[in-house]
Amino acid sequence: MQSTTENDLECIEIKKHFGSVRAVDDVSFDIPKGSFFSILGPSGCGKTTLMRMIAGFEQPNSGDIRIKGKSVIGTPPNRRNVKMVFQHLALFPMMNVYENIAYGLRCAGASKDVIRTKVHDVLARISLPDVANREISQLSGGQKQRIAIARCMVLDPDVLLLDEPLGALDLKLREAMKIELKLLQHQFDTTFVYITHDQSEALVMSDHVAIMDKGKFVQIGTPQELYHKPKAAFVAGFVGDTNRWAGRVTRVEDGAVEVETEAGLTMRGSVRGAGAPSVGDAVHVFVRPEFIKAEKSGADAQKIDAGHNVIEGKIDSILFNGANSRVLVRGRAGELIEADVVLTGGTEDLKPKDDVTLSWSAEQTMSFKV
Amino acid sequence: MMQKDIKRLSLYLLFAPFAMWITLLIILPHLGMFYISMREKVAPRVYEFGFDNYINFFNEPIYWNTLLRTGSMSLLVTVLALLLGFPIAYYIAKIAGNRTRGALFLMCLIPLWVSDLIRAFGWILLLRETGIISSSLQWAGLINTPIEFLYNDATVIVGLVYTVILFMIVPLVSTLDGMDDAMIEAGYNLGGNGPTVLRRIIIPYAMPGIVSGCIVVFMLTAGSYLTPILLGGKNSSWFTEQIYDQFITRYNWESGAAFGFVLLAFTSLVIWIGLKLSGQTLNSTVARS
């Protein structure tokens, strides 16, 4: 058990059910010291219950939670060195910023001088040195966010839990806070456990991400692994944007399959996930829009590699979003396919009603046995 | 132009009932009472203008002693109502489920459907010498002779707490209801134990509700008449009884009116001190709930 000391947080076979509902079902993971770990899942997948168990507000029905190698089952929330940033922050409105941050230190019985130095120190570290005497209602959304983090970090926790704290912010601020959170995590060098249903938050900030669905962890990995090497259809569909088809296998040859979708498209794909499909099996096929190349038909058709899937279609509409622009192409079979394109604003740009050739490699056609 | 006039007219019409209520039932009677309280009776049907009625009040110890007694007992009732009401309100607002919450609130309200008088007689039925409590204690062999539970201060206080506690519970429930549960959890999460969370987070948050409940309860208690008279009998020495005596028994309206204003000034002063001590304002408490 030498390695256990390296991990700030370990969860071992945690189970929690409410009546007949299994909120968290046999979840195990460990988080190494100083890393940013996200738990990503749709709402109702049990991620909040899991976090509340780590914080001590719920007790697991079975399993063990260890912080710095020590089991905390039976330890009340106020004795665990795990601090939490709540979804709506839960700053105390009847106290000013200074008192909010000092609250935890007071509970721990720190002396007045220690409290003053620590509070001003942590305010300097979150680059808000002058707000100590402000009321909570006088702060902006981003400032409140940082105060909520400072209020936890001043207590020097082993693990900081964050429960979708960016959900209430507007888009621009959310983007800025993502970067800021990552920087703060580096600066404090503390283990962050971040709960979210927003995959871009999880991908941008995390060292490791766990994908949770129906109370279970489907896959744990780095953001790149989850994006490029999903182990299950749920992961492929949930992380990142993707085209998705349901179909049947028509041919199998070592590692590759030929699939006919319900709409009648035929494409070759690589087998991912557990279980090797055989002919006739139902499969889900995922292709990410950025791997699909859309070109005007007839132009440079010869350039397309031999192993590629090729589909002719007509542009249905253009979804302009700067660098992330996309076209919706209606194929011959009538289905819509999304593909990323570069729109420069020039005359060569794709336009609605243009005939286009879509092509993508079989390697990027991820096929999961149902 | 027309549109504007109609708008103004509807505004006046909406405001009219309130204005009438305030002027006819509050301002005019008080002005009249104040006028009466300033009249000194020098001979039958001969009056002079002056503060004699007020000076009489301070010269007669029995009067201001009664007022102080009423004030301190009302404060005690207020504190007891708060101590009893806070856990009830906390249970209703934070612990009970959504369905039980409505039922519990209703149960608090039901006693109000019966008139004050009937409820006071209910207490008399229970507490008098031949009442239910006394006779059942005798039956159980705990006491030998019947005991009179009525006509003492403790009974008056119990009866008053029972009458006013609802007015404490309602504002408390509404403030505690507005408190995010996460705030209590944050209190624990940051290292506070139960008493700390109660003292540093729940009570400060509920302060507006506490103060507004206390103001209403104190006002109601100090101005109550029925419960102290019926449960306390002639020795209850409640200040409203003095006022009643001046008006009805002694037919001395001048002095009764002056007593009325003394009571108003006294309760206002107590509330002002209470607000100063708790650092709240009328705006942040009564006006909010």
Q: How far is CA B56 from CA B260, B262, B269, in A?
A: 14, 12, 20
Q: Which residue of A57, A107, A152 is in closest CB contact with B185?
A: A57
Q: Is the pLDDT of residue A3 over 60?
A: no
Asked if residue A2 has pLDDT above 80, the reply is no
Residue A92 DSSP class: -
Residues in chain A closer than 8 A to B187 (CB atoms): 92, 103
Is the pLDDT assigned to residue A303 strictly greater than 70?
A: no
Residue A294: pLDDT above 90? no
Mean pLDDT check: name the lowest of A115-129, A205-219, B110-124, B258-272: B110-124
Predicted pLDDT at A1: 41
A55 shares contact with chain B (CB less than 8 Å): yes
Find the Cα–Cα–Cα–Cα dihedral A44, A45, A48, A49, rounded to 10°.
100
Taking a C-beta distance cutoff of 8 angstroms, is the pair A307, A268 a contact?
yes
Question: CB distance B188–A77 less than 8 Å?
Answer: yes
Residues in B touching A67 (Cβ below 8 Å): none
Which helix (H) or strand (E) element contains residue B167? helix B153-177
Q: How does pLDDT run across B146-190, given as a tens digit for each residue?
A: 888 888 889 999 999 999 999 999 999 999 999 999 999 999 999
Q: How far apart are CA A182 and CA A171, in angstroms?
A: 17
User: Mean pLDDT throughout B123-131?
Assistant: 89
CA distances from B265 to A33, B67, B72, B269 (A): 66, 11, 15, 6
Q: What is the mean pLDDT of residues A9-28?
A: 91
- All structural domains of chain A, each given as residue ranges with its CATH number in brackets, are 2-233 (3.40.50.300), 299-360 (2.40.50)
Q: How far is A88 from chain B (nearest CA, A)?
A: 8
Percent of chain B surpassing pLDDT 70: 98
Q: What is the pLDDT of residue B114?
A: 86
- What percentage of chain A exceeds 90 in pLDDT? 51
Partners of B190 on chain A (C-beta within 8 Å) are 78, 83, 103-104, 107, 151-152, 155
pLDDT at A166: 87
Question: What is the pLDDT at residue B1?
Answer: 65
CA-to-CA separations, A141 to A130, A132, B164, in angstroms, rounded: 16, 16, 42
Decide if A167 touches B, using CB distance below 8 A: no
ipTM of the complex: 0.82
pLDDT at residue A5, as a whole number: 55
Mean pLDDT of A237-261: 88
Does B205 contact A92 at a Cβ distance shorter than 8 Å? yes
Flag if A90 and B191 touch (Cβ within 8 Å): no
Which of A272-286, A351-365, B195-209 has the largest mean confidence? B195-209
A7 phi, psi to nearest 5 deg: -95, 135
Q: Residue A36, SS3? A: strand
**Contacting residues of B for A107, CB less than 8 Å apart:** 190-193, 196
Closest Cβ opposite residue B190 in set A76, A93, A103: A103
How far is residue B88's CA from residue B194's CA, in Å, rounded to a whole number? 17
Tokens representing B242 are: 């003095």
Cross-chain CB nearest to A78 (options B180, B188, B201): B188
Beta bridge partners of A355: A314
For residue A187, what is the enclosing H or E element? helix A171-188
pLDDT at A300 (0 to 100): 57
Residue A86 has its nearest CB partner, among B186, B191, B201, at B186
Q: How far apart are CA B13 and CA B177, in angstroms?
A: 35
